[in-house]
């Protein structure tokens, strides 16, 4: 009797093994689990036959059934794990994407290269301790010219190509004798114009604040001139430093520091005497050519520096005593320097832009090159 | 100014090459733009004399010549029309290499042997183009090297002079400068007085001796009408960039370039009575040498005769008194017109002359007598005739030199930040001014009569620095008192604003501040500030809005096949208020095209609409942390679509609405005008837009919230913002958040209505919200929507 029951158990186990091996889906496994291990399953049925055995054999047979049950359960679990893994692998394979397709959404725009340069200039000077000042673009004659030692008959006015403003009655008041607008001067009326440089901010600031002064003044300026190398509107950054004992050597130091930081290279600077009515001594500042100077500091000569190895970048000088007089600062006690740099020019040099007029066309193809 | 190196070397001897001279000048502030070599030395180029001329047997335009070159007589075929017997010519013999690269070889020209070439000025590198052979003067020796005779081994030095250095606008001036800078030996011209040979003279009535402190006139009678300007003078004029015209004119120009004194010559026969120097009368007319007619104002210094003006002083002479081919007696003028008298006068009459250029910058008041003698000498030499006495009228007070200027060594050292030796400074000052008094504590320097730019100590500081060399000044770093200020939190920075637009895919534009008047009017009815002298009609008025410029930029890009454009700009608009001007910083933008760039997987790209820009603006404005909501009001704007526009405003602390700006779609007529569609734009007042609030902490509730939705149907005309405001008002602080999640029109909703779905988040700060409370609150919300807005609950 025991033998036949044992034989049954053995054949159930083998059947179960074969069925589990052959199953392909978790659902089939679940059916098999019920078939063999469920309340009415094959092995439970076997256990129910235990009553037909003699008492002494019952525990042994019970153990045997439980062992088979455990074996079947283990086989089911193993097979379940294998099927799950295969299913996951298939799902993953099905979800594989082409990672080279472009990303979606909006991109990012960019700031204008002139703004980029202005911000950079500001950052360098602010890090040195300079403040940032501003002034009006529609200026009066006094701040744009007279306070800067450019009286009406001064030939320097001819270099400035000034835009004048019509007053409310539609007439214009020009004090400078060589103004290109041919209208009569009417005394006592203020003469308004578009500032030709950011230097009037110097005058305005010094009229308001006392030394020590160290500021820069960025902004739009205007000259009545338009050709390949001139646009009627452009940007300047004015710099001014006034304190006791400020010297020409200090001017050299501050500008060297700025230009080396700006171009991120140990370039050399060269100062040449020049003339601006509001500074004396005055200097044009050249940098060693950033395009053709090798690592040893030798200029190879190129088109941009006209084979001189030097590029003119800004104008500067010691504040003229007459300017100090106009703004009520004692020029015996205080000295100072001022400089003015062209933002478009520095932008062109920094990024290699070869046509000034591109800056104000706002062509996206151009703007997209600057982030 | 262009100056010939060889001419300069006549005046000053320095041991420097042309390039070194140029560098020396540049480093001293006389910026040399270019140094152009002339032909240089040319071998086998000699002076020859044409002995015979005969026609080429086989070519009408060619001649056969026999040319004597001293050592030989050469047969040369020549095609120039001015070849003739006895002509002194430049002969390039076999082996010569001309500046244009041409090598002279023995050749047959149409079958006739030619042993060289007769040269034109252009072939010698002297002119761009020449009509015929260069005709050498009779003083050229046959067989002499032409490069020596014509000084072809020369350089043209182009100097860009600053307006303070009018004293350098002559060979004499540059030579003087080089003497100072390079310590060269200076050889000024010896100019003897020319004794008068006749009594012929002209009366000079110097009425305005303030503006003309010195006037010299001299008659030279009986000049030859056949005289020609000698080649050496023509050459020097040409190398100075001046075109030779006629002997007397050439002489006055020559003296101007040589000494720096502009001169003029009148035809004596065309003058009526004496010469008067006076102010013009308003409305007087004069026809000038360039054949233009000028109507004078009442404040121009003129030279006049009894009939009227014969020259604008220091600018240009009149045509009626000009010398011509038939002139036999001339009046030479050498005068000192002050800078003030001449400044701007040329420009006022649309003129610019070498003379006005010099007088405006200041001409040495001591020069006129010297220039008069020099010019007389040259006229007699070249044109013949007899000189009369010099008639001079002057105002000595007006001719006085500048007062002495003091300079202190101590000041010099502190201003330059450089140690200087007393002896060296004294030497430099001496080279500049000749005589220096006093000592290092205060030297007294009398500026030379030609140096108008030395008026004060600072000017002398520059002189010393310049001669010493800016390169020799050390580099120092000053102690900088901090003036940089960390940005206030009460505004957001324009950098933040820029970056947030950049992050939303906008590109920054910079457009001109002046725009077309008509464009301006399309966007704004405000009368703009006008320019008196615009460069062009489309740059005639100052913008009152950034929009026209941005629209131009948008159109520019649309025309270049860009279809998705998003631009912004930060800049001023310009306004007149009363007698003053006002600048308002603005932030503006334009956008058109699809919401996102063309890309895969998003289906058909949708065009942007009002709400996209609204979201952009809200995102940027939310940086300010302002707690008061932006109110979008429906207000008229001429440039915007009447149905798709809004004014942005916000309440201030006093409960008043403050306008921030506007947003909307471009008006259909403007879209048509620009040939674009679906363009959206905004413009904000920057100052108001960036006004920020500090964040204020509020307790974070730890109790769970309850979220409930409500959908109502309301009349189409009721703005959604009113519904949310109403609910918010009613429920108060317990309403944590109200979100709009759907607006629907269409099936199931009455034609004039819309369905609005709101999501309300309810939460207590200090206890859990119960379902019963939530129900009660939703009931309150429903009743306010029903009673105030006639809303019906949507099933």
Above 50 in pLDDT, residue B583? yes
pLDDT band of A297, cuts 50, 70, 90: confident
Q: Give per-residue pLDDT as tens, B661-713.
A: 999 999 999 999 999 999 999 999 999 998 888 888 888 889 999 999 999 99
Q: In what order do the strands lie in the sheet with B59-68?
A: B73-78, B59-68, B45-56, B88-93, B116-118
Contact, B636 vs B662, CB < 8 A?
A: no
Q: What is the pLDDT of residue A159?
A: 64
pLDDT average, residue stretch B589-598: 93
Contact, B168 vs B174, CB < 8 A?
A: yes
pLDDT average, residue stretch B548-565: 95
Above 90 in pLDDT, residue B283? yes
Total residues belonging to chain A: 371
| Nearest-Cα residue of chain B relative to residue A331 | B458
pLDDT average, residue stretch B100-121: 90
Q: Which of B343, B505, B510 sits opposite A109 (nearest CB)?
A: B505
Q: What is the pLDDT of residue A190?
A: 63
Q: What is the pLDDT of residue A181?
A: 39
CB contact under 8 A, B466 and A273: yes
* Better pLDDT: A303 or B14: B14
Distance, CA of B467 to CA of B30 (rounded, Å): 12
Above 70 in pLDDT, residue B349? yes
**Other C-beta atoms lying within 10 Å of the C-beta of residue B441:** 10
| Nearest-Cα residue of chain B relative to residue A247 | B415
Q: Give per-residue pLDDT as tens, B495-547.
A: 999 999 999 999 999 999 999 999 999 999 999 999 999 999 999 999 999 99
Q: What is the pLDDT of residue A155?
A: 66
Q: What is the pLDDT of residue A41?
A: 86
pLDDT average, residue stretch B783-792: 92
CB contact under 8 A, A130 and B483: yes
Closest CA to B378 of B242, B226, B275, B227: B227
Q: Give per-residue pLDDT as tens, A43-58.
A: 888 888 888 888 888 8
ipTM of predicted assembly, 2 dp: 0.85
Among all chains, which residue has been given the structure tokens 């794990």? A81
DSSP annotation of B608: P
CB contact under 8 A, A126 and B348: no
**CA of A359, closest CA in chain B: separation in Å?**
8
Contact, B676 vs B693, CB < 8 A?
A: no
CB contact under 8 A, B475 and A364: no
Contact, B509 vs B455, CB < 8 A?
A: no
Q: Which chain B residues contact residue A249 at CB under 8 A? A: 416-418, 473-476
The chain-wide mean pLDDT, for chain A, equals: 88
Q: Which chain A residues contact residue B562 at CB under 8 A? A: 364
Q: Which chain B residues contact residue A275 at CB under 8 A? A: 29, 162-165
Above 90 in pLDDT, residue B129? no
**CA of B233, closest CA in chain A: separation in Å?**
31
Q: Which two tokens stand for residue B178?
A: 């080089």
Q: Which two tokens stand for residue B621?
A: 């404005």
Tell me which of A19-28, A132-141, A327-336 is least confident.
A19-28
Q: Which residues pair with B222 in a beta bridge?
A: none
B27-59 burial: b if 16+ Cβ within 10 Å, else e: bbbbbbeebeebbeebebbbbbbbeebeebeee
| Nearest-Cα residue of chain B relative to residue A284 | B29
For residue B162, the Cα-to-chain-centroid distance in whole angstroms is 14
A3 exposed, middle or buried (CB, 10 Å; 0-12, 13-18, 19+)?
exposed
**CA of A203, closest CA in chain B: separation in Å?**
17
Q: Give per-residue pLDDT as tens, B635-648.
A: 889 999 999 999 99
Tell me which of B205-209, B342-346, B497-501, B567-571 is least confident.
B342-346
pLDDT average, residue stretch A103-123: 94
**What's the pTM?**
0.85
pLDDT band of A184, cuts 50, 70, 90: very low
| Nearest-Cα residue of chain B relative to residue A212 | B481
CB contact under 8 A, A272 and B510: no
Q: What is the pLDDT of residue A1?
A: 55
Q: Which of A112, A233, A363 sits opposite B513 (nearest CB)?
A: A233
Contact, A241 vs A250, CB < 8 A?
A: yes
**CA of B543, closest CA in chain A: separation in Å?**
12
Q: What is the pLDDT of residue B109?
A: 86
Q: What is the pLDDT of residue A186?
A: 40
pLDDT average, residue stretch B626-640: 87
SS (H, E, C) A201-243: HHHHHHHHCCCCEEEEEEEEEECCCCECCECCEEEEEEEEEEE
pLDDT average, residue stretch A12-23: 90
Q: Which residues pair with B685 in a beta bridge?
A: B586
* CA within 13 Å, CB half, B534: 17
pLDDT band of A166, cuts 50, 70, 90: confident
Distance, CA of B272 to CA of B624 (rounded, Å): 80
Distance, CA of A349 to CA of A129 (rounded, Å): 25
CB contact under 8 A, B539 and A232: yes
Above 80 in pLDDT, residue A189? no
pLDDT band of B100, cuts 50, 70, 90: confident
Q: What is the pLDDT of residue A158?
A: 65
Above 50 in pLDDT, residue B348? yes
Contact, A281 vs B461, CB < 8 A?
A: yes
pLDDT band of A172, cuts 50, 70, 90: low
CB contact under 8 A, A280 and B532: no
Q: Give per-residue pLDDT as tens, B433-479.
A: 878 999 999 999 999 999 999 999 999 999 999 999 999 999 999 99
Q: How far apart are the first and last CA of chain B?
A: 91
pLDDT average, residue stretch A82-86: 92
pLDDT band of A90, cuts 50, 70, 90: very high
Closest CA to B612 of B644, B650, B571: B644
Q: What is the pLDDT of residue A170?
A: 65
Tell me which of A69-73, A352-356, B412-416, B628-632 is least confident.
B628-632
Above 50 in pLDDT, residue A4? yes
Distance, CA of B685 to CA of B688 (rounded, Å): 6
Q: Give per-residue pLDDT as tens, B157-200.
A: 999 999 899 999 999 999 999 999 988 899 999 999 999 999 99
Q: Where are the beta strands (DSSP E) in B440-551?
A: 442-445, 507-508, 514-515, 541-542
Cis status of the peptide bond prior to A212, with omega within 30 of 0:
yes
């Amino acid at each position: 009797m025991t033998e036949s029951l044992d034989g049954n158990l053995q054949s159930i186990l083998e059947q179960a093994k074969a069925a589990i091996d052959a199953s392909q889906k978790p659902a089939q496994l679940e059916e098999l689990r019920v078939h063999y291990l469920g309340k009415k399953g094959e092995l439970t049925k076997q256990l129910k036959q235990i009553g037909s055995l003699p008492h002494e054999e019952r525990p042994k047979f019970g153990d045997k059934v439980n062992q088979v049950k455990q074996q079947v359960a283990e086989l089911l679990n193993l097979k379940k794990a294998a099927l799950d893994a295969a299913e996951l692998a298939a799902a993953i394979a099905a979800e594989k994407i082409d990672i080279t397709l472009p990303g979606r959404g909006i991109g990012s725009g960019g700031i204008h290269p002139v703004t980029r340069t202005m911000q950079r200039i500001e950052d360098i000077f602010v890090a040195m301790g300079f403040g940032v000042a501003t002034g009006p673009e529609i200026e009066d004659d006094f701040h744009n010219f007279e306070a800067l030692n450019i009286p009406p008959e001064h030939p320097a006015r001819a270099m400035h190509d000034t835009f004048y403003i019509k007053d409310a009655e539609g007439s214009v008041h020009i004090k400078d004798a060589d103004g290109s607008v041919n209208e009569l001067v009417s005394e006592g009326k203020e003469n308004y114009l578009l500032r030709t440089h950011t230097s009037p901010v110097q005058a305005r600031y010094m009229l308001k604040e006392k030394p020590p002064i160290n500021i820069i003044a960025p902004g739009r300026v205007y000259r009545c001139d338009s050709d390949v190398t001139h646009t009627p509107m452009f940007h300047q950054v004015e710099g001014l430093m006034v304190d006791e004992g400020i010297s020409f050597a200090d001017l050299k130091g501050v500008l060297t520091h700025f230009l080396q930081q700006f171009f991120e290279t140990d370039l050399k600077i060269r100062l040449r005497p020049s003339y601006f009515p509001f500074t004396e001594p005055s200097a044009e500042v050249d940098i060693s050519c950033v395009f053709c100077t090798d690592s040893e500091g030798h200029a190879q000569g190129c088109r941009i520096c006209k084979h001189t190895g030097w590029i003119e970048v800004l104008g500067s000088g010691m504040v003229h005593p007459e300017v100090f007089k106009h703004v009520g600062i004692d020029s015996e006690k205080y000295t100072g320097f001022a400089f003015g740099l062209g933002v478009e020019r520095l932008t062109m040099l920094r990024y290699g832009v070869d046509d000034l007029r591109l800056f104000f066309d706002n062509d996206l193809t151009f703007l997209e090159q600057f982030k | 100014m262009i100056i010939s190196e060889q001419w300069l070397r006549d005046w000053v001897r320095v041991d420097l090459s042309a390039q070194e001279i140029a560098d020396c000048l540049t480093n001293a502030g006389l910026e040399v733009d270019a140094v152009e070599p002339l032909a240089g030395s040319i071998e086998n180029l000699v002076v020859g004399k044409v002995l015979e001329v005969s026609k080429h047997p086989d070519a009408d335009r060619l001649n056969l010549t026999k040319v004597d070159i001293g050592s030989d007589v050469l047969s040369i075929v020549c095609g120039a029309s001015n070849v003739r017997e006895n002509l002194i010519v430049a002969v390039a013999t076999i082996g010569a290499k001309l500046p244009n690269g041409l090598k002279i070889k023995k050749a047959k020209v149409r079958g006739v042997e030619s042993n060289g070439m007769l040269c034109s000025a252009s072939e010698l590198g002297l002119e761009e183009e020449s009509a015929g052979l260069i005709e050498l003067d009779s003083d050229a020796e046959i067989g002499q090297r032409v490069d020596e005779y014509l000084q072809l081994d020369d350089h043209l030095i182009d100097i860009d002079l600053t307006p303070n250095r009018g004293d350098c606008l002559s060979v004499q001036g540059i030579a003087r400068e080089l003497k100072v800078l390079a310590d060269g030996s200076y050889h000024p011209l010896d100019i003897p007085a020319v004794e008068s040979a006749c009594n012929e003279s002209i009366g000079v009535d110097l009425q305005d001796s303030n503006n003309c402190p010195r006037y010299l006139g001299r008659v030279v009678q009986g000049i030859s009408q056949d005289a020609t300007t000698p080649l050496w003078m023509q050459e020097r004029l040409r190398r100075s960039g001046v075109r030779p015209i006629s002997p007397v004119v050439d002489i006055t120009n020559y003296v101007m370039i040589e000494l720096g004194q502009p001169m003029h010559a009148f035809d004596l026969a065309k003058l009526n009575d004496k010469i008067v120097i006076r102010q013009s009368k308003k409305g007087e007319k004069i026809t000038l040498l360039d054949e233009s007619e000028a109507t004078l104002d009442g404040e121009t210094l003129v030279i006049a005769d009894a009939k009227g003006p014969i020259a604008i002083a220091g600018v240009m002479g009149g045509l009626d008194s000009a010398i011509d081919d038939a002139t036999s007696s001339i009046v030479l003028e050498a005068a000192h017109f002050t800078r003030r008298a001449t400044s701007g006068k040329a420009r006022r009459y649309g003129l610019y002359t070498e003379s006005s250029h010099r007088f405006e910058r200041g001409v040495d008041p001591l020069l006129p007598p010297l220039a008069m003698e020099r010019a007389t000498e040259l006229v007699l030499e070249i044109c013949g005739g007899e000189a009369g006495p010099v008639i001079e009228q002057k105002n000595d007070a007006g001719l006085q030199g500048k007062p002495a200027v003091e300079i202190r060594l101590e000041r010099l050292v502190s201003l330059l930040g450089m140690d200087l030796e007393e002896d060296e400074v004294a030497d430099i000052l001496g080279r500049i001014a000749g005589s220096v008094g006093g000592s290092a504590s205060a030297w007294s320097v009398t500026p030379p009569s030609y140096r108008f730019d030395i008026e004060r100590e600072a000017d002398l500081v520059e002189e010393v620095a310049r001669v010493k060399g800016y390169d020799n000044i050390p580099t120092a770093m000053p102690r900088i008192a901090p003036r940089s200020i960390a940005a206030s939190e009460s505004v957001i920075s324009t950098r933040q604003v820029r970056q947030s637009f950049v992050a939303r895919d906008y590109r920054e534009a910079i457009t001109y501040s002046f725009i077309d008047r008509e464009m301006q009017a399309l966007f704004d009815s405000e009368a703009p500030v006008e320019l008196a002298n615009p460069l062009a009609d489309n740059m005639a008025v100052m913008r009152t809005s950034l929009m026209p410029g941005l629209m131009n930029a948008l159109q520019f890009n649309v025309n270049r096949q860009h279809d998705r454009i998003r631009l912004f700009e930060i800049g001023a608009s310009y306004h007149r208020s009363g007698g003053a001007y006002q600048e308002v910083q603005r932030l503006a933008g334009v956008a058109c095209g699809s919401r996102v760039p063309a890309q895969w997987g998003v289906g058909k790209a949708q065009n942007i609409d009002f709400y996209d820009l609204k979201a952009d603006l809200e995102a940027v404005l939310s940086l300010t942390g302002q707690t008061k909501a932006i109110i979008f009001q429906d207000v008229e704007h001429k440039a915007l679509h009447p149905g798709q526009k809004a004014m942005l405003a916000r309440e201030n602390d006093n409960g008043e609405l403050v306008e921030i700006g506007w947003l909307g779609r471009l008006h259909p007529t403007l879209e048509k005008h620009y040939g674009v569609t679906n363009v959206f734009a905004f413009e904000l007042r920057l100052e108001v837009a960036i006004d920020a609030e500090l964040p204020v902490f509020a307790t974070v509730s730890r109790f769970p919230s309850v979220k409930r939705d409500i959908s109502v149907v309301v009349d189409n005309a009721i703005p959604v913002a009113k519904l949310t405001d109403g609910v918010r008002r009613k429920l108060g602080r317990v309403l944590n958040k109200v979100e709009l999640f759907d607006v629907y029109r269409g099936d199931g909703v009455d034609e004039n209505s819309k369905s609005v779905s709101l999501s309300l988040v309810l939460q207590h700060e200090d206890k859990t919200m119960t379902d019963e409370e939530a129900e009660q609150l939703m009931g309150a919300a429903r009743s306010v929507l029903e009673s105030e807005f006639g809303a019906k609950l949507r099933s």
